[in-house]
DNA sequence: CTTGACATCCGAAACGTTTTGGATTATAAT
DNA sequence: ATTATAATCCAAAACGTTTCGGATGTCAAG
């Protein structure tokens, strides 16, 4: 069906080896035959079989990425931006990207890893939303398979990661709320099996403590990072006998949900209640009112972890196996002084 | 490095053929040797090389998907949901998904298609956001390569697509606005090289005409489907001498931007100005106020086009090569009666 | 005229599978 | 005892590349 080296060889009257070497730019083929070969390749419309090459070279020039999706209706602007960063960086290095969508900690997720890694479908894996004691990381480490994680894990001092200092991020946000005079500050957390959730929660607690406020379990709720969960949690928080005057939230999507809940209760966000997010997805700047949030450079993160992985795969030395980025607090109108 | 059939063969003392057939479940291998082989495979940790299989079987069980991204900071909830639909359906059929991110109509996009198709990296392609006279479709048709498009194109009566009736969608939305008493209805369109933009625009025009309103160029602006563009367009529309009392928008993200512009001008959306979107991304229901929009089942669309493509690849008969889904108008609070 | 160097080419093996078309042996039927 | 049949097995080719280690021919230097 498709045109192969053999076809060109037959057409020109030369061996397959010579065709391969002519096309490969080796200098042990005469200029005139090279020309003939190039012309024939052009005429016949030759394009090398990537699969055959992969088999021969024993590498795929492909990186694998399993996106953790919660539920069927999955729509997270965070991931589309991360994916763009990863994809563009991969393309820059002529790497392809193999993507799967699986719900976290499911048998399907494990199966996907087996297939990509053990089936040698990819040269390296990108792991995101690391969990404490993450089975994906143990799997990869056990097989000595190249990977880079976005997010730290339990005992991972010998595996490469890039992470954002969520502790400091949330510390800044809560500190900011305290400076605004808030004394009753709630927190909507991410599920605590995610490592970043622990860091951010601790940042919240440390800021409270330093501000002389005491940690109150009643003021901490957990949501699965969706707008809907943020909405529900905020409703419950604002229905308390002594409701909080400020709510820090573990990500922007839930913060948008929290804002909606506040609106629904007739509160003006930024005046009656302060709300902060985390991520700075594009929508955050465009919320109503614009959302005060902790910015992490999502696109850049995608680019960087992809770059790190490719360096590991190609054997280039990595200047740093552990990167912690500092997030920055972005002040907007959703957080105002306490009444 | 990795364990191969040959390793098992050597270990058990049998030929590679027999190992392959034992593992493949053929019945021409004795039960006792099969057991020995299975045990050895287990012990040695055998997993077949996907690449070698692909080369031999001349298919990849992979489908390709090039996501059109505008600019580096790309973050579209639409695509993450579509991707989930595609990815899950692919997984259900044991297909992998190869994803690229390229800006539309760029040389890089063309290169990606050459690589995936001519390099036989994938068995079929999914094309989204079809354009009038789409070079991607001509490319695929010329090569007789399996593909399914989300969205119609110019002369594509012989190529499979799934589309949503954008004409009727926008017709419903504008009709709804007219019924609410609006007489000056603006429209924020998508770029007109996208086929769906044409359909929706025509739906807008036809609804106007049927309602006895005349089409006014001044009231139609074009945006690149981002929140920011919707924001800008709405600002310009609302700054007109005779501003519209209602704005229909070609997608939800721009509609959210339009809502923000209206708020900024001190208008209450749903009372002072009516706004409708298109898509019904999850965020639409959670906007403030909730967005009246035309719902297209994004996840389901991803699932369906993926399913169609796999049927084409595997040679199963397709009941219908052209599917038009009817979108439904979802009434929420962003659209109220004219003052 | 021989030798060595260089330019140009190619056969064969390898990558890890699957598949084709027998070969060999044991078993049952005549 | 012979023959047909079934049960097991396997060598080799194929998929489309790349690469190793020569082979061949030409030409200039000795």
Which tens digits make up the pLDDT trace of A84-140?
Answer: 999 999 999 999 999 999 999 999 999 999 999 999 999 999 999 999 999 999 999
Mean of per-residue pLDDT scores for chain A? 95
Residue B155 beta carbon within 7 A of nucleic strand C: no
Provide the strand spans (E) within B145-265. 147-150, 161-164, 185-189, 220-222, 246-249
> How many whole angstroms separate alpha carbon B236 and alpha carbon B219?
10
CA distances from residue B242 to A24, A98, A172, A308, B233 in whole angstroms, order as listed: 66, 52, 46, 55, 15
Nucleotides of D under 7 A from a protein CB: 7-12, 14-20, 22
Q: For the beta carbon of residue B4, count every other beta carbon within 10 angstroms.
A: 17
> How many whole angstroms separate alpha carbon A103 and alpha carbon A289?
33
Nucleotides of C under 7 A from a protein CB: 7-12, 14-20, 22
| A51 contact residues in B (CB cutoff 8 A) | 51, 54-55, 60, 120-121
| A2 contact residues in B (CB cutoff 8 A) | 118, 120
Inter-chain touch A83–B99, beta carbons under 8 Å:
yes
Return the ∠ at Cα B276 (arms to B189 and A77), rounded to 5°: 80
H/E stretch holding B113 reads helix B107-113
Residue A29 beta carbon within 7 A of nucleic strand C: yes
The pLDDT, as a whole number, for residue A53 is 98
Closest approach of chain A CAs to the CA of B258, in angstroms?
10
Cis peptide before B289 (omega within 30 of 0): yes
Residue B214 beta carbon within 7 A of nucleic strand C: no
The pLDDT, as a whole number, for residue B285 is 87
Q: Checking DSSP bridges between strand B292-295 and strand B328-330, what pairing results, if any?
A: antiparallel
Q: For the beta carbon of residue B177, count every other beta carbon within 10 angstroms.
A: 28
Nearest alpha-carbon partner for A225 in A279, A170, A296, A153: A279
Provide the strand spans (E) within chain B. 62-68, 96-102, 124-128, 147-150, 161-164, 185-189, 220-222, 246-249, 274-279, 292-295, 322-325, 328-330
- Give the full edge-to-edge strand order of the sheet including B185-189: B220-222, B185-189, B246-249, B274-279, B292-295, B328-330
Å between CA of A272 and C1' of D21: 82
- Which residue in A286, A289, A300 has the most chain B C-beta atoms within 10 A of its own C-beta, making it the best mutation to test that interface? A286
> How many whole angstroms separate alpha carbon B6 and alpha carbon B13?
10
For A80, which of B48, B76, B231 is closest by C-beta distance?
Answer: B76
Closest approach of chain B CAs to the CA of A214, in angstroms?
33
A vs B: CB pairs below 8 A: 180
Q: Which of residues 123-162 of B touch A (CB under 8 A)?
A: none
3 state SS of B258: helix
The pLDDT, as a whole number, for residue B156 is 67
Tens of pLDDT, residues B65-104: 999 998 777 888 899 999 999 999 999 999 999 999 999 9
Q: What is the mean pLDDT of residues A18-45?
A: 95
Closest CA to D18 C1' — which residue? A56
For A56-104, the DSSP string reads: HHT---EEEEEEE--SSS---HHHHHHHHHHHHHHHHTT-EEEEEEE-T
The pLDDT, as a whole number, for residue A74 is 81
Tens of pLDDT, residues A236-285: 999 999 999 999 999 999 999 999 999 999 999 999 999 999 999 988 98
Residue pair A127/B57 in contact (Cβ under 8 Å)? The answer is no
Closest CA to C13 C1' — which residue? A56
Cis peptide before A21 (omega within 30 of 0): no
The structure tokens listed for B78 are 């639409």
| B257 contact residues in A (CB cutoff 8 A) | 286
> How many whole angstroms separate alpha carbon A46 and alpha carbon A9?
12
- Three-class DSSP labels, A258-317: HHHHHHHCCCCECCCEEEEEEECCHHHHCCCCCCEEEECCHHHHHHHHHHHHHHHHHCCC
Residue A91 beta carbon within 7 A of nucleic strand C: no
Tens of pLDDT, residues A284-325: 988 889 999 999 999 999 999 999 999 999 999 998 999 999
Inter-chain touch A288–B288, beta carbons under 8 Å:
yes
The pLDDT, as a whole number, for residue A156 is 66
The pLDDT, as a whole number, for residue A184 is 98
The structure tokens listed for A170 are 């949330």
- Output phi, psi for A19, to 5 deg: -60, -50
> Would an 8 Å CB–CB cutoff place B44 in contact with chain A?
no
Å between CA of A21 and C1' of C9: 11
CA distances from residue B336 to A93, A314, B246 in whole angstroms, order as listed: 52, 59, 9
> Would an 8 Å CB–CB cutoff place A283 in contact with chain B?
yes
Å between CA of B26 and C1' of C19: 12
Mean pLDDT, 10 residues at a time, over chain B (339 residues)?
94 96 93 96 97 97 95 83 96 97 95 97 97 94 96 82 98 98 98 97 98 97 95 98 98 96 96 97 87 97 98 93 96 94
Radius of gyration of the CA atoms of chain B, in A = 26
b or e along B256-277 (b: 16 or more beta carbons within 10 Å of the residue's beta carbon)?
Answer: bbbbbbbeeeebebbeebbbbb
> How many whole angstroms separate alpha carbon B173 and alpha carbon A185?
42
> How many whole angstroms separate alpha carbon A255 and alpha carbon A261?
10
Q: Checking DSSP bridges between strand B220-222 and strand B185-189, what pairing results, if any?
A: parallel
3 state SS of B20: helix
CA distances from residue A334 to A252, A284, B161, B255, B284 in whole angstroms, order as listed: 12, 10, 44, 21, 20
The pLDDT, as a whole number, for residue A102 is 94
Asked whether residue A177 carries a pLDDT value surpassing 70, the answer given is: yes
Q: For the beta carbon of residue B335, count every other beta carbon within 10 angstroms.
A: 26
Residue pair A72/A39 in contact (Cβ under 8 Å)? The answer is no
Residue A28 beta carbon within 7 A of nucleic strand D: yes
3 state SS of B232: helix
CA distances from residue A21 to A26, A60, A65, B339 in whole angstroms, order as listed: 5, 21, 34, 76
Question: Strand D within 7 Å of which CB atoms in A 57-116?
Answer: 57
> How many whole angstroms separate alpha carbon A248 and alpha carbon A288?
17
> Would an 8 Å CB–CB cutoff place B75 in contact with chain A?
yes
Q: What is the mean pLDDT of residues A22-43?
A: 95
> How many whole angstroms separate alpha carbon B20 and alpha carbon B37?
10
Q: Which of residues 207-226 of A touch B (CB under 8 A)?
A: 226
């Amino acid at each position: 069906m498709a045109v192969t080296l053999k076809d060109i060889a037959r057409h020109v009257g030369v061996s397959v080896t010579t065709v391969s070497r002519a096309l490969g730019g080796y200098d042990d083929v005469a200029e005139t035959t090279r020309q003939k070969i190039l012309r024939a390749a052009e005429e016949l419309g030759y394009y090398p079989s990537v699969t055959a090459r992969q088999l021969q070279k024993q590498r795929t020039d492909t990186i694998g990425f399993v996106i953790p999706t919660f539920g069927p209706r999955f729509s997270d602007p965070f991931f589309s931006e991360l994916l763009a960063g990863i994809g563009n960086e991969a393309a820059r290095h002529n790497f392809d990207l193999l993507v799967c969508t699986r719900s976290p900690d499911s048998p399907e997720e494990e199966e996907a890893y087996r297939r990509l890694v053990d089936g040698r479908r990819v040269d390296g894996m990108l792991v995101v939303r690391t969990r404490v004691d993450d089975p994906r990381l143990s799997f990869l480490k056990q097989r000595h398979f190249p990977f880079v994680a976005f997010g730290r894990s339990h005992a991972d001092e010998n595996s490469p990661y890039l992470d954002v200092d969520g502790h400091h991020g949330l510390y800044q946000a809560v500190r900011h709320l305290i400076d605004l005079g808030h004394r009753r500050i709630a927190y909507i957390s991410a599920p605590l099996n995610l490592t970043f959730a622990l860091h951010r929660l601790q940042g919240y607690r440390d800021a409270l403590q330093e501000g002389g406020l005491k940690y109150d379990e009643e003021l901490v709720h957990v949501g699965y990072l969706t707008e809907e969960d943020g909405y529900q949690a905020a409703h419950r928080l604002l229905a308390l006998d002594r409701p909080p005057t400020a709510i820090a939230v573990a990500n922007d999507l839930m913060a948008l949900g929290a804002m909606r809940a506040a609106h629904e209760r007739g509160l003006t966000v930024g005046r009656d209640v302060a709300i902060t997010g985390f991520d700075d997805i594009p929508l955050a700047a465009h919320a109503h009112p614009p959302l005060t949030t902790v910015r992490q450079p999502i696109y850049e993160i995608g680019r960087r972890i992809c770059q790190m992985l490719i360096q590991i795969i190609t054997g280039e030395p990595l200047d740093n196996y552990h990167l912690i980025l500092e997030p920055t607090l972005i002040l907007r109108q959703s957080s105002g002084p306490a009444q």
